[in-house]
Amino acid sequence: MQRIFSLLLAGCLLWTGCDQTTPDETAGMVTLTGQVLDAETNDPIVGALVQLQPQGLITDTDSLGRYRFEVTIDSTMQLTLSATKTGYTSASLPVLAVPDRTIEVPVLRLTRTATEEPVSGEAANILLLSQSDQAIGVRESGSKETAELVFQVADSMGRPVVLDHAVRVRFRFGVQPGGDEYLFPEEALTDNSGRVRVHVASGTRAGIVQIVAEATVNGRTIRSQPVSLAIHGGLPDSNFFTLAPTQYNFPGWVAYGLENKITVIVGDQYGNPVKPGTAVYFTTTHGIITGSILTDAKGQGSVTLFSANPLPSDGIAIVTATTADRNQQPVTRSIPILFSGPPRVELCMLNDQNNCLNQPLVAALNQSYLLTLTDHLGNPLAPGTKLTIEAQGTKVKAVGAVDVELGDTGFRTLSAETTYDDVVRGPGITEFFFRVVADQTLDEGGSPTVEAIVINIDSPNGKLSLAFGPTPGSARILSEEGELQRDGALLKAFILKR
């Protein structure tokens, strides 16, 4: 017997210990469910009005007399639930609400009163009773274009106003996108349950609308809180389909696995962002690209292009994005992406007509030079490339394009047909002119004398530094890697392709 008692005692202690949990004091959603019954018959009361305070929420009981609230609270707090029904007394009770819990509220029992017509006082407040949708689509979007709002007008005791105290409720917009959205009806008379209904119809613009219900009672205006409703855009339109990379030129020939983000911006026929969740599919002729995205609320989405095989033999890859319009026709947009490689320099001295002299390269006073800077395929280097040129010696300096940072590469066309010849090259992009002159601002003795010209290239494509002096054949590489090559009057410096 003592053994049985000990087992029972241990079981009870285990059960009570498992139930001692500490309420979560952080914010979260609490779900309240319960039932309203007839105090005499225990039958469910259908259509009882249940209110939750201090949130001011209101709902009806269903055919089983049940109701449900979902509300966000900052921490554990005490709420009050009350139930009313015409022909019954009212009842209320406090509820301790804990975030992230579902709470079954004790039964609210209402006592039937003498059968008589419902009564109420004058209208005192307007509450939202129900909202059919949280979001609708713009006109001709293929989505639902209307939503119904039901408002409850109650007296100062929270009772729905009856016909004897019916009021005419007016409906208006608070904020709206301005795309010809409208409300119907513009006003309505409350019924014997104090209810009025209004429908919201979308227009041609996406955005947020607010609906306000208001009425005038004995010269005083009562109104509801603004009710928000989102209007989403429609299906894609080819005129509002944009594809753009983070960089048109990235050093994809330098290393594998480099990333370039490609962003799509999709609008509908009215220029609104398409409805969230619109699918866009991506392909590329070279490298690897993540396959597809679903647009966000701004009609945007991004994928990543990776430098990988196959690499483009001329440096040009074509990225294409595809979706479908309201007529079930494909909508596509293509852009070129330049996979640039390691830096390559060509240097020559210029005559007065800016043509290359057919003589070995030397550092000389009052001499002009042309520096051509490209990758191994003859394409511009990636944005962020810095070129600096310095003349060393006595009372000398280099002028012209001697301190340059490259921007992104341009193309003459942006389409699926873009080719190598469409890449913009030339002065300030791949060609840089400079001259060595006397520097009269320096306060030092001696005549202007050139000892060396130093060229530094600091690029995402690689680092290359070289120098040459006043005698032929004096050129040398200063950076950790690089090769020199002489081709007649041209001096070439480059980093070997990995």
* pLDDT for res 1: 37
Residue with tokens 């010696």: 393
Domain 125-232 CATH class label: mainly beta
* pLDDT for res 142: 76
Tell me the average pLDDT across 198-215: 94
Q: How confident is the model at residue 20 (pLDDT cuts 50, 70, 90)?
A: very low
Domain borders along the chain are 27-110, 125-232, 238-339, 343-494
The model's pLDDT over 321-368, given as tens digits with 9 standing for 90+, comes to 999 998 889 999 999 999 999 999 999 999 999 999 998 999 999 999
Checking if the pLDDT of 469 tops 60, the result is yes
Domain 238-339 CATH class label: mainly beta
User: Between these two residues, 180 and 140, which has the higher pLDDT value?
Assistant: 180
Tell me the average pLDDT across 14-30: 53
The model's pLDDT over 356-390, given as tens digits with 9 standing for 90+, comes to 999 899 999 999 999 999 999 999 999 999 999 99
Checking if the pLDDT of 3 tops 60, the result is no
* pLDDT for res 116: 57
Q: Mean pLDDT over all residues of the chain?
A: 90
Q: Say which range, 212-216, 230-234, 280-284, has the weakest mean pLDDT.
A: 230-234
Rg (the chain; Cα; Å): 38
Q: What percent of the chain has pLDDT over 70?
A: 94
Q: How confident is the model at residue 2 (pLDDT cuts 50, 70, 90)?
A: very low
Residue 25 has φ and ψ, to the nearest 5°, of -85, 5
The model's pLDDT over 48-74, given as tens digits with 9 standing for 90+, comes to 999 999 888 899 999 999 999 999 888
Checking if the pLDDT of 19 tops 60, the result is no
User: Between these two residues, 357 and 7, which has the higher pLDDT value?
Assistant: 357
d(CA 222, CA 470): 91
Domains 27-110 and 125-232 share a fold: yes
The model's pLDDT over 237-263, given as tens digits with 9 standing for 90+, comes to 999 999 999 999 999 999 999 999 999
The model's pLDDT over 219-237, given as tens digits with 9 standing for 90+, comes to 999 999 999 999 998 899 9
Q: How confident is the model at residue 14 (pLDDT cuts 50, 70, 90)?
A: very low
138 to each of 46, 485, 490, how far by Cα in Å?
A: 37, 65, 64
- Indicate the fold that domain 27-110 takes in CATH: Immunoglobulin-like (2.60.40)
* pLDDT for res 141: 79
Checking if the pLDDT of 497 tops 80, the result is no
User: Between these two residues, 3 and 162, which has the higher pLDDT value?
Assistant: 162
Residue 286 has φ and ψ, to the nearest 5°, of -145, 155
User: Between these two residues, 2 and 145, which has the higher pLDDT value?
Assistant: 145
Checking if the pLDDT of 9 tops 60, the result is no
Q: Say which range, 83-97, 162-176, 408-422, 440-454, has the weakest mean pLDDT.
A: 440-454
Tell me the average pLDDT across 462-468: 97
Q: How confident is the model at residue 487 (pLDDT cuts 50, 70, 90)?
A: confident
Checking if the pLDDT of 200 tops 80, the result is yes
User: Between these two residues, 14 and 376, which has the higher pLDDT value?
Assistant: 376
* pLDDT for res 18: 39
* pLDDT for res 120: 86
* pLDDT for res 413: 96
Tell me the average pLDDT across 173-190: 94
Question: Global pTM?
Answer: 0.68
CA atoms within 13 A on the CB side of 213: 29
Checking if the pLDDT of 160 tops 60, the result is yes
CA atoms within 13 A on the CB side of 168: 4
* pLDDT for res 326: 86
d(CA 322, CA 301): 13
d(CA 338, CA 430): 15
* pLDDT for res 62: 93
Tell me the average pLDDT across 194-221: 94
